[in-house]
Chain A
Amino acid sequence: MEEKEIRIGVFICHCGTNIGGSVDVPAVVEYAKHLPNVVHAERNLYTCADDGLTAIKNAIKQHKLNRVIVASCTPRTHEPLFRSTCEEAGLNKYLFEFVNIREHCSWVHMKDTEGATEKTKELVRMGVARATLLEPQEEMKIDVEQSAMVIGGGIAGITAAKTLANQGFDVYLVEKEAVLGGMLRNLYRLFPTGEDSLDSLQPSIAAVEGHEKIKVFSSCELKEVKGYIGNFDVTLLREGKEVNFKVGTIIVATGAMEFEPKGHYGYGKYDHVITQMQLEKLLKDGQLKKSDSVVMIQCVGAKGEEVSYCSRICCMVAIKNAMLIKEINPDADIHILHNDIQAYGAEYEELYNKAREMGIRFIKYTPESPPCVTMDGEKLKVEVYNELFGEQFMLGTDLVVLSTPLVQHQGGVEISKLLRVPLGKDKFFFEAHVKLRPVDFATDGIFLCGTAHGPAEVAESVSQALAAASGAGIPLSRGFVQIEAISVKVDLEACIGCGFCVEMCPYQALDMVDGKLEIIEALCKGCGTCVATCPTGALEQRHYQNNQIISQIKSIFHPVIE
């Protein structure tokens, strides 16, 4: 068959200033125009925006492109988008090539425009070399197990499980504690409505426990998860015994825990220095002793060395609890020491104002001179430098309540390893894309919600849970997923029947039958380990062919310009 002329179009993205700020994009476009087989090169402010995608589609038609290269961010987030754009314009999506010039270049060489620009040119050159050798592929469809697993039985997990079950799917809800409810179980009343946490939790727990589609595995530990989207094999440990089942998708809702402020402000040393969570329990049990004066200290352990982030919800927790103490004892003298109050949104702003009207006092301290808690006879004494007044304040008090951030717990770290999904710098689970895919992991078929993702209040956790359930429900309701066409194939004429590859395959997808290699394509996951061991080059991996990879290597060292 006569080789069709290769016509490559190159689209280089400025990504606003993300790439354009450290790479001379126009120079790269000029360079790309002169690379072999490139018939069109252009730059876009945002190639992933509507006009960028339209430009790709138009160029495919206008310039009769049969290969498309986008040089922008990471394929891990945007490849599906550009691939479907190519398909819309009638180009097989395997003829698309992604060149990562943001995560792997402009963002890591921000102060080296010359170096970053030269590197970008080379990366584009490598992309052109590979694109030239790309081949169209057909994808295989595989069936999806019509069930999901939700890990974690807090409000997020409960909501996700209920939502999926109501869509008609079987749900396995796994909880390490003996009872469902998570952190919410230990809280007293919720802001901004003041309703009892159990009142809002109990109906959901009852709905989940009584649901015919939901199997609750409490006091269970996750032991192993194997497989991939559509076909995860799960092993649990229940009372030391293994329980196995298959699911199509997984939702991580493992929650968070309160940071323990050891060594902060006399915590652990003085009896009347407690955390907000301990205060919630005292309030809930009606055990709070008459407190005529209370001091709350915000950001304990947060926004510093131990925990670098703002935990977002603690300001509202403090305000709410201060108001609840005022309800019990209207004469109580309450101070909240903070460095900036997070009361985002109209409802919370309103609550903050109401607290002030009730006589709760807010004192802004600076992180450089934090408050100091000591014992003065029977009473606690809090010294704080009031930034607004420019003077030192001395507060005698019955109770000091520390507002500490939510942090990841060891169980979450274990689950991350088990599912092979990442944690971010803050140790919370790390989503596929902070704006576009906030409840997905980069690994297909696994989703996340609730405080496992970072500090969140109930409404946010519930919204995320609904989103995650919706995402996890898509492959289930479709009933199949298309598997990337990256499986291996064999050229039987070149195969000498040595069988080395058979031993290499982690999935037993290869078999030697009467000295002839057989490949079970449905079992092949496309790792390519067998291909790397083939002594004759008879094995080949679709889309990661030997000649494609070798062309990339060569192009690094050979600056061919037409």
Chain B
Amino acid sequence: MKEFDPKIVAFCCNWCSYAGADLAGVSRMQYPPNVRIIKVMCSGRIDPLFVLMSFLEGADAVLVTGCHIGDCHYIDANHKTKNRFEFLKEMIAELGIGEERLRLEWISATEGEKFADMVKETVEKIKKMGPSPLSPKVMQ
């Protein structure tokens, strides 16, 4: 049987975490090809619906990323991200998806290594956990 290959959706903000992911590339840091990045201007744009929909569609993990608190390009919009994330995390746990599958990480434009590490760690962890209970691989 083919080894379980997790699908991970990462929401990145234009200014920090997307640039951090760029820096990981520029620095040729190697990480597994399991993550799909969706760019938004600010982590504040990440509608909880996007996260839930990712899980419903079959994501094994979702990464919500943005600028560090205090470094937001939009003054304090990432505070809203933080608040929403806490509520989302509870909801994901309540729904039985497993709160470990949702991760919030603040990644600056200079933290390419942090981005690469985040992906590596998440892939490793999810491989151990197995597919999401909502994944088509499990549902079928």
Residues of A at the B interface (CB closer than 8 Å) are: 74-76, 100, 102-105, 107-112, 115-116, 118-119, 122-123, 126, 226, 416-417, 420-425, 430, 442-443, 486, 504, 506-507, 525-529, 531-533, 541, 544, 546, 549-550, 552-554, 556-558
Contacts and interface: CB of A to CB of B under 8 A. Distances in A.
Contact of A549 (B16, B26, B50, B80): B50
17 contacts: A100-B22, A103-B22, A104-B25, A108-B24, A108-B29, A108-B30, A108-B116, A110-B28, A111-B30, A112-B32, A115-B32, A420-B109, A527-B74, A529-B74, A546-B47, A556-B57, A557-B57
A126 B36 contact: yes
Interface of B: 7, 9, 14-16, 18-19, 21-33, 36-42, 44-50, 53-54, 57-59, 67, 71, 73-77, 80, 84, 108-110, 116, 136
Contacts of B21: 103-104
A554 to B, nearest CB: 6
A108 B20 CA distance: 13
Contact of B22 (A74, A122, A529, A544): A74
A107 B26 contact: yes
Contacts of A112: 32-33
B109 A506 contact: no
B42 A104 contact: no
Contacts of A115: 32-33
B59 to A, nearest CB: 8
A224 B138 CA distance: 51
Contacts of B77: 504, 506, 527, 529
Given A112-B33, A119-B33, A557-B59, 15 more contacts: A103-B26, A104-B22, A107-B28, A108-B116, A126-B36, A420-B16, A420-B67, A527-B77, A528-B44, A529-B44, A531-B47, A532-B80, A546-B47, A553-B53, A557-B57
B31 A420 contact: no
Contact of B84 (A506, A532, A556): A532
B15 A420 contact: yes
Contact of B31 (A108, A416, A527): A108
Contacts of B67: 420
Given A108-B28, A420-B67, A525 B74 contact: yes
A225 to B, nearest CB: 12
A442 B7 contact: no
Nearest to A486: B41
Given A506-B77, A532-B84, A557-B57, A107 B25 contact: yes
B71 A420 contact: yes
A544 B41 CA distance: 8
Given A104-B37, A123-B36, A126-B36, A76 B18 contact: yes
B53 A422 contact: no
A129 to B, nearest CB: 11
A550 B58 CA distance: 13
Contact of B27 (A111, A425, A550): A425
B19 A442 contact: yes
B95 to A, nearest CB: 17
A79 B58 CA distance: 31
A553 B50 contact: yes
B23 A422 contact: yes
